[in-house]
A and B are shown apart, each in its own frame.
Chain A
């Protein structure tokens, strides 16, 4: 465990150094993150300037979902996706072998190989949106509600992480999967709306196949104190299941990769 943390620390330090090398990008990217958050709110703003409520969600309530979406996106594109991209490159160039030679868990090394720290600005801007929404609502959530939201967000990160590990595992067999992460990011974009906006087939897909509803709508409901206990349990169980399944897929792929000789 201490070794795991040590590795994480070293890799984070390295990412900080890389980020600091490009000082303009550092600032610029942070500004861009805020800009993107704002631009993703515009349609919602236009929508709610015409309506009081949509699919049972008022403007500030919908903003809570946007806030969860933005914070998660920061984690996704700052800590999870860059590593994925790095691995896909390594598989293509054949340098992944060096990584597999190291005496540490390969999944850990792979998933910590690159962080884009300026993405934390997404987390910050998400939090700002959250505060604004709560002020608009005139609602002070209990400590328990905040903790529950945090817990559900962590389990959402676990689900996202698991999906990405599966994508990386695919990279071992089919080299060209960097686009798949792009595809996934585009699907994740749909998570910025409250899940009840989606009806029919999409409602099914976004709840059970790619559990977008669990990722952003559930934490928002938890904060607003509207989430049933059973739903909390379902979300946590789903996250655990995704995480374990990803580990199994990863181990099998590594075995396949090493036995195929690269």
Chain B
């Protein structure tokens, strides 16, 4: 469905030091620097998969999405989406994908979203009856029946995003590229958007590739993740696989009925945090059972919670490692 091999993109960036003197000098002579936004990455995505595309700012996520959707020509490497080469921008290709970004929008600013829907109907050459049916479904699922008749500029960020999604899905694309779709949305709206993307994927079997800084998005939506840093692919696998690889330890939070001194925690595991009546310890996953039993036997426990390390932390560790490897 989507396959990417040895994909690379270089940008020429004008380099300049601050200050008037430097600025004047650069009038005559410019220094250019080649930035490798995407550096030899390969992966493939099967039909119906939901994949999270993660990486720190400037890692090359948006650049990759733009190459996958045909907006940017790769410097080298091959991309195939649904059997098409995106950069050729064939009508069939464009009619079967969509790209939604949290920052840029396609809705006509001074008209109600309904007009953009109508515009897309014309552009994608959708049959009126099919269009109506699809729109009705989208309106119901995204709860935009009131907002779609108000001028876009008067809509809240969340309302705009849901309409944006509706506009991008009218032609029933088989591949969804989503760039930070929940950025700036409140918790309720995030839930609506996530639930909707998941449902669309399950009902239509479309593939989803999503970037987000919000790990809850990723945890809720993506069984598989691809992580890139500085343009390089550093992880491709399941979410739980990443956690196991990076942090095979479980994190156990204990609450006590009475004060407990630090010495009594020794022998359980690595103590991450400790207060008078609570403690957080880190334990290798295989030893969890023994540790919990020991804790209940020896300590005045009123509550116990065992969980994986937070995803943010796992990723931060992964990025730190990749930085070390580069250095």
Q: CA separation between A13 and B30, bound complex, in Å? A: 21
* A108 within 8 A of partner (CB): no
Contacts of A21 in B (CB 8 A): 16, 23
A23 to B31, CA, bound (A): 13
**Chain A proximity of B185: nearest CB distance (Å):** 19
* Complex alpha-carbon distance, A254 and B55, angstroms: 44
Is B245 on the interface with A (CB-CB < 8 A)?
A: no
Count A-side interface residues using an 8 Å CB cutoff: 7
Is the beta-carbon distance between B27 and A26 smaller than 8 angstroms?
A: yes
Shortest Cβ distance from A196 into chain B, in angstroms? 44
Judge whether A143 is part of the interface by a CB distance below 8 angstroms. no
Write the chain B residue with the least CB distance to A27: B27
A13–B27 touching, CB < 8 Å: no
Q: Is A17 at the interface (CB under 8 A from chain B)?
A: yes
Residue of B nearest to A20 (CB): B23
Secondary structure at the A interface, as helix, strand, loop or mixed, is helix
B27 touching A16, Cβ below 8 Å: no
Q: How far is the CA of A13 from the CA of B23 in the complex (A)?
A: 11
Chain A residue nearest to B25 (CB atoms) is A20
Interface footprint category on B? under 10
Check if B24 is an interface residue, CB within 8 A of chain A: yes
In the bound complex, CA of A17 to CA of B23 (Å): 7
- Residues of B contacting A23 in the complex (Cβ-Cβ under 8 angstroms): 26-27, 30
How many A-B pairs with Cβ below 8 Å?
16
Q: Is B187 an interface residue (CB 8 A)?
A: no
Collect the chain B residues with CB atoms within 8 Å of residue A17's CB. Answer: 20, 23
Please name all residues of chain B whose beta carbon is closer than 8 Å to the beta carbon of A26 when the two chains form the complex: 27
A28 CA to B23 CA in the complex, in Å? 17
Contact, CB under 8 Å: B26 / A16 = no
> In the complex, which residues of chain B have a beta carbon less than 8 angstroms from the beta carbon of A16?
20, 23
A151–B23 CA distance with the chains assembled, in angstroms: 35
In the bound complex, what is the Cα–Cα distance between A26 and B28 (angstroms)?
A: 12
The smallest C-beta distance from A95 to any residue of chain B, in angstroms, reads: 16
Task: State A17–B25 Cα separation when bound (angstroms).
Answer: 12
Residues of A within 8 Å of B30, CB to CB, are 23
Please report the C-alpha to C-alpha distance between residue A21 and residue B13 in the assembled complex, in whole angstroms. Answer: 13
A44-87 to B contact mask, C-beta < 8 Å, 1/0: 00000000000000000000000000000000000000000000
Q: How far is the CA of A178 from the CA of B30 in the complex (A)?
A: 35
In the bound complex, how far is the Cα of B26 from the Cα of A13, in angstroms?
Answer: 16
Q: Which residues of A contact B27 (CB under 8 A)?
A: 20, 23, 26
Across the interface, name the chain A residue whose C-beta is closest to B30. Answer: A23
Which residues of chain B have C-beta atoms less than 8 A from A13's C-beta? 20
Beta-carbon contacts of B35-70 to A below 8 Å, as 1s and 0s? 000000000000000000000000000000000000
Beta-carbon contacts under 8 Å, B194-246 to A: none
* A23 closest partner in B (C-beta): B27
Contacts of A20 in B (CB 8 A): 20, 23-24, 26-27
Chain A residues in 8 Å Cβ range of B24: 20
Best-surrounded residue of A13, A16, A20, A26 (most CB of chain B within 10 A) = A20
Assembled-state Cα–Cα distance A246/B24 (Å): 38
Kindly provide the distance from the CB of A89 to the nearest chain B CB, expressed in whole angstroms: 14
Q: Which of B20, B23, B24, B30 neighbours the largest number of chain A CB atoms within 10 Å of its CB?
A: B23
A19 to chain B, nearest CB (A): 9
Task: Name the residue on A nearest B153 (C-beta).
Answer: A92
Q: How far does the Cβ of B122 sit from chain A's closest Cβ, in whole Å? A: 28
> Smallest Cβ distance from A145 to chain B, in angstroms?
37
Binary contact readout A118-160 vs B (1 if CB under 8 angstroms, 0 otherwise): 0000000000000000000000000000000000000000000
Distance, CA A26 to CA B26, complexed state (A): 12
**A73 to nearest B CB, angstroms?**
25
What is the bound-complex CA distance between A234 and B64, given in angstroms?
66
Chain A residues whose CB sits within 8 angstroms of the CB of B20 once the complex forms = 13, 16-17, 20
Minimum distance in angstroms from B47 CB to a CB of chain A: 41
Task: For the complex formed, measure the closest distance between the CB of B110 and the CB atoms of chain A, giving whole angstroms.
Answer: 10
Q: How far is the CA of A21 from the CA of B23 in the complex (A)?
A: 7
Bits for A1-34, please: 1 = Cβ < 8 Å to B, else 0.
0000000000001001100110100100000000
Closest Cβ of chain A to B43, distance in Å, is: 37
**Bound complex: CA A26 to CA B30 (Å):** 15
Contact indicator per residue, chain B 1-40, by CB within 8 Å of chain A (1) or not (0): 0000000000000001000100110110010000000000
Q: How far is the CA of A134 from the CA of B26 in the complex (A)?
A: 39
A→B interface (CB under 8 Å): 13, 16-17, 20-21, 23, 26
Known: A16-B23, A21-B16. 14 other contacts (CB 8 A): A13-B20, A16-B20, A17-B20, A17-B23, A20-B20, A20-B23, A20-B24, A20-B26, A20-B27, A21-B23, A23-B26, A23-B27, A23-B30, A26-B27
Ranked nearest first, the 7 interchain pairs of A and B with the lowest CB-CB distance are: A20-B23, A23-B27, A17-B23, A20-B27, A16-B20, A20-B24, A17-B20
**A-B CB contact pairs (8 Å), 14 listed:** A13-B20, A16-B20, A16-B23, A17-B20, A17-B23, A20-B20, A20-B26, A20-B27, A21-B16, A21-B23, A23-B26, A23-B27, A23-B30, A26-B27
